[in-house]
Amino acid sequence: MAGPRQHRGARAHLAGGAAEEIVARHYENHGYTVAERRWRGPGGEIDLILRGPDELVFVEVKHSSRDAAALRITPRQMERIYASAGQYLENEPQGQLTPVRFDAALVDGTGAVEIIENAFGMD
């Protein structure tokens, strides 16, 4: 029998999947195509990878309020996403020279989406 912790985990997983779907549709409505969902690289998982007309966009999706979500993107998580993105780029025609962007997509409890472009761009 599942305990409260397992139910919370299942709910979070379903909410995360729904948030990713909402975000994918948002980008598609703006001319992007989904290249990958939940792509796993050496650093970990990238929620969405999208192809735009001029760049690839690696997206970290967070399901919560804006402030809470923004605080949950840690430097360690950014490093893992960079490592996975680097591996993904190895199979791109321009390799590491491919134009990229790292966005955070925040989805609140009502399904409203906020995209923070270059949320953790490499400086």
Q: The domain that contains 76 carries what CATH number?
A: 3.40.1350.10
Does residue 31 lie in a domain region? yes
pLDDT at 8: 43
Does residue 123 lie in a domain region? no
Does residue 103 lie in a domain region? yes
Does residue 100 lie in a domain region? yes
Q: How far is CA 85 from CA 42, 72, 121, in A?
A: 9, 19, 12
Distance (Å, whole) CA 27 – CA 22: 9
Average pLDDT, the chain: 83
Does residue 121 lie in a domain region? no
Which comes out higher in pLDDT, residue 63 or 95?
95
Does residue 43 lie in a domain region? yes
- All residues at 6 or more sequence positions from 38 whose CB lies less than 8 Å from its CB, including other chains: 20, 45, 46, 47
pTM of the model: 0.82
Give the number of domains in the chain: 1
Taking residues 8-30, report their average pLDDT: 75
**Residue 16: which domain range?**
4-116
Which comes out higher in pLDDT, residue 67 or 89?
89
Amino acid letter for position 69: A
* pLDDT at residue 6 is higher than 80: no
Amino acid letter for position 32: Y
Triad 98, 104, 108: Cα angle to 5°:
150
Predicted confidence band at 17 (pLDDT cuts at 50, 70, 90)? confident
